[in-house]
Chain A
Amino acid sequence: MNSAPHIIQIALGAASSWQVKTVSERAADALSSNIWESIAYMAVALAAVGLLITFLGLSLIYVERKLAAHFQCRLGPMRVGPHGIFQTLADTIKLLVKEDIIPQEADKPMHLLAPFLCLAVPVLILGVVPYSPMTQIADVNIGVLFVTAVGGFGVMGILLGGWSSNNKWSMLGAMRAGAQIISYEVSATLALLVVVLFAGTMSLAGIVESQQQGWWIWRAHGVGIVAFIVYVIASTAEINRTPFDIPEGESELTAGFHTEYSGLRFSFFFLAEFINMFVVAALTSTLFLGGWMPFHIGEWEAFNGVMDLVPPGVWFVGKSSFIIFVIMWFRWTFPRLRVDQLMHLEWKVLLPIGLINLLAAALLVLRHLYFFPAA
């Protein structure tokens, strides 16, 4: 992938050509000459992901509360720090010193294991997301399949957490979460397949590079935008965000699968939920919105030139932030779905649409019918 100099030839021509190089490739290169350099890359990667998780947790929870407040004409957190920016930090410290209760009836090893599983999933996916040409930890060659597989594993943590608590609320929440997540995963997978079909590769970096002529959301003659909408709906359901939050619907199940979790153990579930939201936003922007590719319009060279001045990382963060905003916006727009409505939406609406959309996409690829064909 890194030896392809074909990367950007549209409009601008010479000005931009991005060399994709992942941290793991650097580490592999350094391995033969200097093992310490290789180890340094590993340390940097781990530290970076650790910092990213902490930052995402702290900032997204704050943003969520602020946005929720402003949607309802409130101010939200205002007391801790200027405009309440240290509120999440204060909450973290509070959770840290809370007593950690494991109920007597619970299955203790499983109860302990569940938060580990829950947090591991988004962290693993963060490792393969291309943030910018130079900033990607590992470009797994089966990227999309990896993301689907690891993402599907997330349901294990939730089911385990709910089941092991031996609490009726938790049990109901976990079973609902299980049914919901596995159902919507089918649609999400079919939507991702459309992009794989067009790009002809599963590597996430490869998919970003395949979008230099145009992002898949509109380059694919309408099929892309259908896949995009299906994917956003399905993945919102997969991460249990409102309007699909019946697994933890607080008005009926107290707190759903994490009713029996307290203190820091609860906060890991919470953290995983917010990082999952970022992961979904990052994947949506990578697969459908061109990842770190700048926004270009056909022959408008001056416009494209200005767009190229914005660094790729900023493009990525901007697109992801927009998707995160939309997901938070959902929460204050749609009422919660009932279980039967939820199943109806997935199996009778999204799944047939997804299947037919996939066939249509195959037909388009077969006829080489997409906008802005490669020069």
Chain B
Amino acid sequence: MDYFFVLMLAGMSAAMVAGGLAFSFLIAPHRPGAIKNSPYECGEPPIGQAWVQFNVGYYLFGLLFLVFDVEAAFLYPWAVAFHGLGFMAFLEMGIFLLVLILGLAYAWKKGALEWV
């Protein structure tokens, strides 16, 4: 039932946006023009497309994010159950975190965390 409500809310938000846009479509003017519909570049005619190859730095941070976010997903069940697990769970997760911290230190030393 909880998730049904969540699903309903998703539907509602979509309906809100769609409803608003439909209403706006009915009352707003439509006078498209070649210049109006061109990409906005502060008055200059744009040269080429915007879909170009991008700085590889973004990809690097994407990879780092993936590592640490998946780690967080592993940590959630551990955190919930931790009250009843005792010292071994702490030790095991400590080793897991230590490996990740070492990984972070390695990335740091290699200069992967520098923005260039």
Q: Do A and B bind each other?
A: yes
Total contacting residues, chain B, CB less than 8 A = 71
Write the residues of chain B forming the contact surface with A, with a CB cutoff of 8 angstroms: 1-6, 8-10, 12-14, 16-18, 20-21, 23-25, 27-32, 34, 36-42, 46, 49-52, 54-55, 57-58, 61-62, 64-65, 68-69, 72-73, 75-76, 79-83, 86-87, 90, 93-94, 97, 100-101, 104, 108, 113-115
User: Which chain B residues border A59 with CB–CB below 8 Å?
Assistant: none
Given that A98-B28, A166-B51, A193-B76 are known contacts, is A365 also in contact with B1, CB under 8 Å in the complex?
Answer: no
Of residues 93 through 136 on chain A, the ones whose CB sits less than 8 Å from some CB of chain B are 95-106, 115-116, 119-120, 123-124, 126-128
Closest A residue, CB atoms, query B94: A359
- The answer to the question of A179 belonging to the interface, with a C-beta cut-off of 8 Å to chain B, is yes
A-B contact count (CB 8 A): 217
Please measure, in the bound complex, the distance between the C-alpha atom of A188 and the C-alpha atom of B3, giving whole angstroms. Answer: 24
Best-surrounded residue of A175, A193, A344, A362 (most CB of chain B within 10 A): A362
Given A101-B37, A347-B113, are A124 and B1 also a contact pair (CB < 8 Å)?
no
* Min CB–CB distance A196 → chain B (angstroms): 4
B39 touches A263 (CB 8 A): no
Interface residues of chain B: helix, strand, loop or mixed (majority)? helix
Q: Interface range on chain A: under 10, 10 to 19, 20 to 34, or 35 or more?
A: 35 or more
- Chain A residues engaging chain B, CB cutoff 8 angstroms: 22-25, 27-28, 31, 42, 45-46, 49-50, 53, 95-106, 115-116, 119-120, 123-124, 126-128, 137-141, 144-146, 148, 152, 163, 165-171, 175, 178-179, 182-183, 185-186, 189-190, 193, 196-197, 200-202, 254, 259-260, 263-265, 268, 339-340, 342-344, 347-348, 351-352, 355, 358-359, 362-363, 365-366
A190-B64 contact in complex given A104-B38, A116-B17, A359-B97, C-beta closer than 8 Å: no
In the complex, which of the residues B28, B50, B64, B80 contacts A168, with contact meaning CB atoms closer than 8 Å? Answer: B50
A264 to B26, CA, bound (A): 12
* Pairwise interchain contact A189-B113, C-beta atoms closer than 8 A: no
Q: Which chain A positions have C-beta within 8 A of B115?
A: 339-340, 342-344
Asked if B82 and A200 sit within 8 Å, CB to CB, the answer is yes
Residue of A nearest to B39 (CB): A167
